[in-house]
Structure 1
Amino acid sequence: MQPTETVDRPPAPVESNSRTFQRAFGDVREAWQHRELWGHLGWQDIKQRYRRSVIGPLWITISMGTTALALGLLYSALFGQEINTFLPYVTAGFVIWNFIVGCVTEGTDVFIANEGLIKHLPAPITVHVLRLVWRQVLFFVHNLVVYLIVLAIFFPDLTEPYHMAGETQGHPGVSWAILLAIPAFALVAVNAVWVALLFGIISTRFRDIPPVVHSFINLVFFMTPIVWHTGVLEKVGAGGDWRMLIAELNPLYHFLEIVRAPLLGHEQSWHHWVVVGAFTVVGWTVALVALRNYRARVSYWV
């Protein structure tokens, strides 16, 4: 009786589970657990930028102050606005805008700029996104000093009921409702994470995206009520309804308004919160899908 011949068979292929939502959620969760890492790196970014400067990060505040003052004086004259209410409006809007645009533009380069760390540091890729957003939060805090100075100067005018030229309804003035700006900014920061994550993944694969975003963001600035307000749209003549529709279709207007309105004592319109909430859910869903499918490829694309 001859022995049975054994045939060597290749092992069955093991299915990869890297493209799962569990891995995507795990990447975000582990990145949050590494908050000491990205918190330290974000702070070091600012210190490194102003390493040999005499006044250091105060240049952030000075730059913001001069820009807000120049824009406020110019556009208050162009639109016939009262400087005591329009300058705080421009200042608050510009401070918030700088945070948003910083997260968007730097988000397109977030993985490209951290190529060395991604290839040599065994950490979730979301760490680099949180580092970016944290750095922009620190910039925002520095710029917020300018708003506090303007608020102190025009405090008597802003605490009384007032209206801006061209508006049909007035504003109650600054009150304890100003505290609503804290959860509003937190919600904007949560959205900044998914924006930087999604744009960072796409831009790593398609390197034409960053210059396109940088060019397009300048146009969006003038289309967003920052150096002008929506009351001007009704003041310029007939057709205010469709002009207001253009403003309402701009998503950045809603993100800006949920933070700016309580800072200036404006009447809070809750439809802005609904729009921002919808963008939060949809945006995070799309970002998690991109993270699930391409998180493992980012290190090869950079």
Structure 2
Amino acid sequence: MMSLAVYELGKGQRAAAIQDIADGFSRWRLWMALALEDINRRFKRTYIGVLWTTLSFALFVGVKVLIFGRMAPTDDAFFTNYVALGFFVWMYISSSVADGSNVFVVSEGWIKGGRLPLTLFVCISITRSLILAFYNFLVVVALLAIYRVAPSWTALWSVVAFSLFILCSFSIHFILGTLCTRFRDMAHLVQAIMRVMFFLTPIFWLPEQIGPLWRYLQYNPFAHFLMAFRDPLLTGTVPLQSFQIVLAITAVLLASSFTLLIFARRRIIFWL
């Protein structure tokens, strides 16, 4: 009888987790409005508003190209777009990790004040990141046009890659959001790791520049995320190995996040 009761409880928890996800997605008007409100509040009373994120992105790319372009074994056009595309992906990934770590902590008032699905707060955070990513991508489009880089049909694979990034973002928000709510030190640990991974990921250096060391840095999953998005756009090639790794990571993260949501959905409010 006890095993049957445990099974029924687990079955109910799974159903509740699925319902949480469905309810969160169904309230798209609410999370769209809240994401836009958050962005407007962030850039309130500024003259150019959200374009500040575009300007910041452009300045960073410009400085990195100016400094590291002299050492790159390639022409300026290729290296500029190489850095821009790589930094665009990194900005989205790092934003997802940082926002995901605090997604439930910063929403404490909403979570405690009403019975809203946890998925709603994840959708708000990801929508905000996607809007800011769009403004960063304007710089990428401008650079591709300036240097007359005409993407081929292979570039559609970059769309596939970014779609996988979004799926990973949902998983990362649930996983890190839950763990960092329970263990507050983990958010600081994640930030420290991301600072190190920034320099270990081929954003502003090319693999051929570091020689045999690249053999070991290929174990960095962020490198494959970058290559899966950047190579189809910039070189017209599809890095199959990188896509396989990204797909595998996406599947593992989705399964892990759903399992964690089943376990922690009712506990998060007590950890806040």
Tell me the TM-score normalized by structure 1. Answer: 0.84
Q: Which whole-Å CA distance do the structure 2 matches of 1:145 and 1:298 have between them?
A: 38
Distance in 2 (alpha carbons) for counterparts of 1:23 and 1:97: 34
Unaligned runs of at least 5 residues, structure 2 = none
- The one of 190, 193, 200 equivalent to 2:170 is 193
% identical equivalent positions: 29
Which residue in the other structure is 1:5 paired with? Answer: none
Q: CA deviation at 1:16?
A: 5.0
Q: Letter of the aligned partner of 1:285 in structure 2?
A: A
Give every structure 1 segment of 4 or more consecutive aligned residues whose post-TM-superposition deviation is greater than 3 Å: 13-19
**Aligned residue for 1:253?**
223
* 2:96 corresponds to: 103
May I ask how many residue pairs the two structures share in their alignment? 267
- Residue 227 of structure 1, aligned match among 204, 216, 219: 204
| CA drift at 1:80 | 4.3
The residue number in structure 2 matching 1:166 is none
2:181 to 204, 225, 245: 204
Aligned to 2:111: 118
The aligned amino acid for 2:19 is G
Write the deviation string for residues 32-54 of structure 1: whole angstroms up to 9, x where unpaired.
11121111111111111111101
Amino acid at match of 2:246: V
The structure with the largest helix share of the pair is 2
Q: Determine the structure 2 residue equivalent to 1:52.
A: 45
Deviation, 1:17, is 5.8
After superposition, the C-alpha distances for 1:219-258 in whole angstroms (9 at most, x for unaligned) are 0000001011212233xxxxx2xx2332221111111221
- Deviating more after overlay: 212-221 vs 72-81: 72-81
Higher mean displacement: 28-37 or 140-149 = 28-37
Corresponding letter in the other structure for 2:248: A
CA RMSD of aligned residues (A): 1.8
- Structure 1 residue 98: Cα displacement: 0.3
**Amino acid of the residue matched to residue 225 of structure 2?**
F
- Judge conservation of contact 1:18–1:296 (CA < 8 Å) in 2: no
**Distance (Å, rounded) in 1 between the aligned partners of 2:263 and 2:10:** 11
The C-alpha deviation readout for 1:180-231, integer Å capped at 9, x for no partner, is 2222211111111101110000000000011111111110000001011212
CA distance in 2, matches of 1:187, 1:200: 19
The DSSP-based 3-state class of the residue aligned with 1:228 is: coil
Return 5+ residue gaps in structure 1 as ranges.
1-12, 160-173, 235-239
Query: 2:251 and 2:101 mapped to 1: Cα distance?
Result: 21
Larger Rg: 1
- Asked whether 1:147 is paired with 2:140, we answer yes
Partner Cα separation in structure 1 for residue 21 and residue 208 of structure 2: 41
On the 8 A contact 2:89/2:226 being kept in 1, the answer is yes
SS of the residue 1:53 aligns to? coil
> Aligned match of 2:260 in 272, 281, 290?
290
For the residue of structure 2 that corresponds to 1:110, the secondary structure is: coil
Q: Post-superposition shift, 1:25?
A: 2.0
For normalisation by structure 2, the TM-score amounts to 0.93
